[in-house]
Structure formats: C-alpha cells, structure tokens
Structure 1
C-alpha cells in the first residue's frame, strides 16, 4: 500500500509537470505567433491609463504601461498614479480638509469647547509629510495592483515610431522598441506658465505647492481657474496672506452666478482679489519676489511675496510623443488630441482623460472611459462613454457642486424664455451657533419649461460633493421638478433645501429660506 501511494503521487506529480510543460509550450508558441508584443500598450500611468490597462489584463490580454514624470520647472517629481493621486485631487482635498479643521477649531468655542487659542499653531511640515506619506502609499498600491494583474510596468518614456511601434527610453538612458496592436495615450496635462520674465525661474504651480519644504508664506495666486481658487482657499484657511490675481473672470466654464458667490465668500473669508490684472514681471531679491502687474485701467503696480503660484490653465503633455510622425490629429494650441469615442485619427490609437479635446478633465471620467474602451476593444462591448451630465465639485472654502447645464448654457441651448430657474438662499444649521456668514449659501435648479425636466443643478455650501453625488444620479435618470418637490427631505440637512425649492427667479420674490 505504501509503495502504491508513493507510485500514485509520483505519477501525479509527473503528470502535473507534463501538463504544465505542455501548457507553457502552448503559451510560448502562442506568444511566438503574436504579430505584436502586446495587445495593448498604455502611455501614461494616471487614473485613466491604469484603469484601462488593469481592465484589459482582467480580460486576458497582454498589457504594458509606460509612465515617467518629467520634473517640474522647480524640480518636483512624483510616482505612479498621475496628476490626481500625486499633485491633484488627493493632496488638494487633504489640504482643503486641513483648512476646514482650522476653522472648525475656532467654531467649536460656540459649542462649548474651551481652549487657549494662542497655543493653536499649524505646522506645515507635519501636514506636508503626512499627505506625501499617504500619496506614496497610493503609488505603491498602484504598482502592486499592476503586478497582481500581470501588467508589465516600465518607468520609462514612450514616443511613436510607427502606428504600432513605440520607442522606450528608460531612466538609465537605455532604449528599446515595443510593438502593440492597440495603443492608448493617457499622458494627461501639465500646468502652463505665462510668458513673462521670471515666471519659470521663480514661480511654482500646483505641481509644486503640495510638497514645499517651507511654508509658502505670503502668496500670490495668478489665475481664476478652479485650481487657483482651491489653492488660494486652503492657503488662506491655513493662515497665509493670500491674494488671487484674475485677468478676466473666475471659474470660466462654470455657472457665473455661482462663481461670483464663491469669489465673494472667499473675499469675506480673508482672500484678497486683484480683478482685471495681468502680471508683467517677477524679480527676486533675497527671499522675496517682487511682482509687477498692470491693472485694467493700464496703471502699473507692484508688491512683494514669498511665493507666486501660477494656475492659468493646463496643456496636454503630448509634445514629445511624435504624434506628427504617425498622423494623430491634435489641437495646435492646447495639443489635446482630437478623437471620436476615444479613437484618434489613427484607427488603432486611442486617447483618454485630460489629453482628449473637449472632454471634462475629471479623474472619474478618465477611469470610466478607460474601462469602457477596454471592453469595446477586447470584451465585445459596444457601450460608449457618456460625457453629458457629469457632476463635479470645486473644493473652495465654501464648496460648490454642480451637475448638468449652467444657467448660461441652458439659455444658449434652449432660449431664455424656455427655462425656469428655481433658487434659494439658505443657512446651514451648523452656521447658527458660531453666527457664520451664510449669505453665499445658495442653490438653484434649472428647469426646462417644455417637459419640466431639471437640466442643471447647482449647490454652494458645506459638503457639496457629498450632496450633489446623489442628485447627479437623479438628473441622469431624467428627474423632473415634480419628482424633486415630491421628495421628502432629510431633516436637518443642507441637502433637504434642494427638495424644498419653490421660488423662481422670474417671480422676483425673496428666495431666502426661513425656519424649518
């Protein structure tokens, strides 16, 4: 019996070894017969590129990801995960939360908490190190996930040789060529600098602000973008003297009534604004930066700052990809890629995320588009990405969440007499005891008169992102004013004020909410 068992086990082991050997030979032969090394090659290791790569690997295809971060003008670099993880959404939200906590400490006195305010000191280094530590854990997590899903990862640059071949440049300087049946461009974008003396030499961008070794001190933020206002908001909240220089309008592309309310709230909160101003020059003397600018009345001004942060927009990081060589069409100014359903002008080359012309520059958009693209290429799906009615939130001190059309867009699309705007000013209960200013807490729903569908919803107030997420689902499902007004609110919350909307702008009645 003992000898029989030994023989049986030995036979089984040999059989398993034989099967594995045959299987390996079959796999090897299959690989040898491949026309290309990879089914999919992704250039760019941001949220969209990683999502597309991992999804494709789960579908059983051979995938590689190339990701390399060129240092910023200030020498800042980071790890795998793209803008959102490293120098965007994640650190931004954590700095924003730090600023909110500082205000909450002060508000807590109204709720009976007693403490010596002179002993409350914020330490920039502690916050910076904690956030960078969290970001590095996310970098590592992405690398582990790629390994687990058998995605080949290369910390290297890629540029096109042909529509199916890419030259890889490693950190060591070594070059090699990879081939792929399909290639996805997901390199995202980088902040722009103005073409003025001293900007590149002395200015920073959002690529740098989250990892500054020293506190930024007195700061000038140049730009009216959401990045500009978010950075200015948390810098003010952390106690730094902060000024925003705006050339024209704040939050271009967003609802302008909401943008004005946001800027007013920030001004009331301590952020200074220079409207209609253009920077001309930055000079450095010792540790101070002298900024010279021109105001809209053509007068010249100057002031000194410790830090100048540019947030004047971003451009697609495609200049070194060799797109011209293979005929991929792109916009000459923004260098964003022209595409239809993520497919470029070259049929086997695709683009997702911030690099794609005319699409929302939002992480969840890139992730969803990447996954859907993977399933269309390799999973037999026909589902396309729907870029309409995507919700977003601007994390200014008073948060702004929106989904659907702005009032300006709705008027342009339907006509001024074909929409009705329901609105309300409200006071969050949390603002009551500290007697905080709630004059900018505002909600509006834009309604089509034709079918009473809500085509745009805008919320300015605490936790706007959490509030607008659920309503975005309802809007995508085609909910109407009747659906909204028949919904029972959760009391006492800020979100319930949305379902209580009943006053129109056209009526001229006071939309201020009073009592319960």
Structure 2
C-alpha cells in the first residue's frame, strides 16, 4: 500500500510540473539538483522561509541495473544499509561469545542473507517514503527528473519516459553526490558489481573478492566475513588512504585475524566468466611481478567514487570544475564560479565525503540565502568512523598530517593498547584495540587529533569531538574522570608518550 501511495504521489508530481504559476522572475526561488542528505536538508530548510523550492532527484541505474529511491547514497547504498549489515555481522560474533557467558547455543550458527537483505531493504524503502512525506509536508516540490543546465538560471528536467520540462530558479544548489568508480582498462571489469549493487542483492554474494582499500572496501569485506562468507580484499598500495596509517594497518591486521584474506600489493589484470558461472580473476603481484588467479562467485569494485558532474552540462552555466577530480570548485560559502549557483556534499571540491557535513552545510546555506545568517560551515575537526569489524573512529589530524604541519619535535603523541572488558571473558583477540591522542608539544598541549580502535568507536569519538572542537588540552582531558569500566575511559587515562619509548599496554584498572 505504501509503495502504491509513493508511486501515485510521484506520478502526480510529474504531471503537475509547470502547472503552477511563476513567483516573480523565475519558477522557483531555489532549485536543488540531488535528493541526497545535503540536498534534502537544504531544500527543507529553505522552505521554512516561505520560499518556493523544488528538488530534482533522478537515480541512474548502476551498470548492473540496480535502482533505488529518494534519499541519496547514505540512505540507499551507503551509511544506513552498511551499518545494519555491519551490525548483523557483529551479532553473529556475539552469538559465539555468548557460550563463554553461559548461554546454551548450538554452534556453528548459520546466516540467511535473504532474510537480512529483505529486512534492511524494507527499512530503506520506509526511509524513502519518509523523505517524500517530509518534502510534501514542507511544501517542497519533488520532481523525479534528471536535470541538466540550459543556462545559468534554467534547468531542463527529463522524466524516465523522456518527457522534458524547463524550470527556472533564482538560486540553484548542486547536491548530486557521487557514484562508484569502475576501471576502464581491465577486461571483464563489467562482470563485477559495486556497493550500489551489494546492498540490494536478493541472494548471498557467496565467495567474494573486494577490490580496493577505501573505507567502503574494508567495511564491506568486514561484514561479509562476519556473516560467514569466504571474503578476500585486494589492496594495490595502502589501506584507508587519507587516514592515519598506523591506525589503518591495525584495522587490516584485525581483519586478517578475523578471517579476511588480504592480497597486498596486487592489482587485477582481467576477469573472465567461467562455464560454471564463477568469475576467474587474474591479478599481478606488484612486488614479485607474478600473475596469480582464483575464482569467485562475486567481484566487487571499491576503488573510489566519482562526482556526478559529467552529465549536468555545467559548462552551459559557466560552473567551473577541477579537471582532475571532476568536482565543482567552491568557496567558503559553498558558492561556485557563478554567484547564484552553489554546491554542497560529495560533489564539491575539498569537502569531506560524509553525510553529516553535507546536511549541516545545506542547512547553513539555506540560512545564509534566506535567513540573513552570515555563518559559514566549519569543516575542521569533523569526526568520522570506519565500521570495520573492529571499528576505527577519529577526529582531527592524523599523525602524519600533524607532523607535516607542525614538525616532529612539536608534536606529542599519547597512546595505549587496552583490553575491552567485555571481550576478555569471550576470549577475543584484542591485540589491535588501541587509542592515540596527538597534541602540540607545548605548555597547554592542545589536542590536534584523537584516534580510537575498538568496540563502538563511533559512540566513543562523538563525545570527545566536542572537546577537540573547543580546543581542549591534554591537561583538561586527563583531569576529567572517566566512567569505569568502559572503553572510552582509556582516553582519559592516557599517560604514555611515544617519545618515551615505554610500553603502552594497559595492564590493570
């Protein structure tokens, strides 16, 4: 019934387009291209100022034909299904741990992909519907159109049936996000899937090779391993580029002990479909220069993402992009090279590819446009978490970046290896549970960055992010009494520096 109502509303919205009268010079005060987190936040906030607002959202099917609804990457093929599948994998491990806590559970346990997938996909569809309802409630026009620029104020929208409509707006916001990148020089690359497809599979992917070392690659390989699938990861150079590399390697060390095979310093050469239906992958070891091969049920590409700028005809509006990254060049106020055209989220150059900054940037942009605000989005010290089997949360500078900016002698690093209490009775390997705090080596020792690997890392880092945003110092942090027994308290107990060379292993309360 909900799906039928959703279709009916969408159809009615398409038929009504152009029927409403003009408001002044243009059809709309604000036109947003992209119905993801940032675009929806901006449009709904602008509508609060009694402005006439429209959102164009059109999902191009993946090369495998996968489609989804309103809400963008995060809702449909990113944060939400990823976290739920990650949680599903953690539950499997919790069942195994439960025996040591006295629970009478028959092992081994078995996982049903279709049950998990259907439940998650139903939840995602409910979120799609929720976004439609919110837009309707706030009187934001939803248009299931693919939009391209005709000129600086005009967008041509095209429906799935090829019907075209021209729309004009005083201000335009680009929030079209990005899509997974596919290799163009590897024969058989089209036989692989991407994360866009993985979260909408109805059947288990089976034995899987994930190619890439991004957080998407590690997270997907992690939960696939966690639900019991034979999973391998192929890494060409370094894991989690842009993150602290000591932390990144602790993450991959744990993944290997967890059961994920990692092919280091390897790059795919070709993929072939065998008569059995399996995919044979041929790859080269870059260190030995030897070719190897193995067959898999599924090959998933996770080699990065590309901004959706190529088909927007930005040149007709004079919007400049970075030719290397294809992202839209923006100023501190999200303005592009055209004064009334803005860009937020993953499509914008130099912005973190994260949902919360896009949402906040979208809301703040609406306030500047219509609410007489002058406040700019602050992109410094944005916290994030990689939801690998052992989670990695961080905020602020990596060790490498801190040393680059301030010099090695000006940086003090406090660190500790610790044991989460709940994992001791379960007899889990906790070798990689680690916390590192990077400070300026001065009297006040202002905290430059905090990195945490362990259970619930995102929940831990979120609270400390406020302190770091407020320029907290090491002395302030350690003077704060921790909650015992928790993993988070290990941050407040940090007292060993790397410079000292002392053993950083926590041995007792």
- TM-score surpassing 0.5? yes
Matches within 5 A, 1:11-410: 32=22, 34-118=24-108, 120-285=109-274, 286-296=276-286, 297-340=288-331, 341-410=333-402
Do structure 1's residue 466 and structure 2's residue 454 form an aligned pair? Answer: no
TM-score norm. by structure 1 comes to 0.93
Indicate conservation of the 8 Å contact 1:73/1:200, yes or no: no
CA distance in 1, matches of 2:127, 2:395: 28
Q: Tell me which residue corresponds to 2:499.
A: 506
Q: Tell me which residue corresponds to 2:450.
A: 457
Structure 1 residues 143 and 271, CA gap change in structure 2 (3 angstroms): same
Q: What is the CA distance between 1:31 and its match in structure 2? A: 6.0
Q: What is the CA distance between 1:334 and its match in structure 2? A: 2.3
Indicate conservation of the 8 Å contact 2:187/2:269, yes or no: no
Indicate conservation of the 8 Å contact 2:189/2:270, yes or no: no
Structure 1 residues 218 and 32, CA gap change in structure 2 (3 angstroms): closer
Q: Tell me which residue corresponds to 1:441.
A: 433
Indicate conservation of the 8 Å contact 2:186/2:268, yes or no: no
Indicate conservation of the 8 Å contact 1:489/1:496, yes or no: yes
CA distance in 2, matches of 1:444, 1:199: 42
CA distance in 2, matches of 1:494, 1:345: 47
CA distance in 1, matches of 2:200, 2:389: 21
Offset from partner CA, 1:241-283 (integer Å, 9 cap, x none): 1110000000000000000100000000000001111101000
Indicate conservation of the 8 Å contact 2:28/2:170, yes or no: yes
Q: Tell me which residue corresponds to 2:471.
A: 478
Q: Tell me which residue corresponds to 1:496.
A: 489
CA distance in 2, matches of 1:196, 1:319: 20
Offset from partner CA, 1:318-337 (integer Å, 9 cap, x none): 11100112211112232110
TM-score norm. by structure 2 comes to 0.94
- Between Structure 1 and Structure 2, how many residues are aligned? 486
Q: What is the CA distance between 1:201 and its match in structure 2? A: 2.5
Indicate conservation of the 8 Å contact 2:279/2:298, yes or no: yes
Structure 1 residues 93 and 199, CA gap change in structure 2 (3 angstroms): farther
CA distance in 2, matches of 1:374, 1:33: 18
Q: What is the CA distance between 1:287 and its match in structure 2? A: 1.4
Q: What is the CA distance between 1:196 and its match in structure 2? A: 3.5
Structure 2 SS opposite 1:96: helix
Indicate conservation of the 8 Å contact 2:22/2:28, yes or no: no
Gapped regions of structure 1 (runs ≥ 5): 1-29
Structure 2 SS opposite 1:390: coil
Structure 2 SS opposite 1:240: coil
Structure 1 SS opposite 2:193: coil
Offset from partner CA, 1:397-455 (integer Å, 9 cap, x none): 00000000000000001000001000000000011111111110000100101341001
Structure 1 residues 357 and 201, CA gap change in structure 2 (3 angstroms): same
Indicate conservation of the 8 Å contact 1:196/1:281, yes or no: no
Structure 1 SS opposite 2:151: coil
Structure 2 SS opposite 1:161: strand
Q: Tell me which residue corresponds to 1:24.
A: none
CA distance in 2, matches of 1:359, 1:353: 7
CA distance in 2, matches of 1:243, 1:143: 39
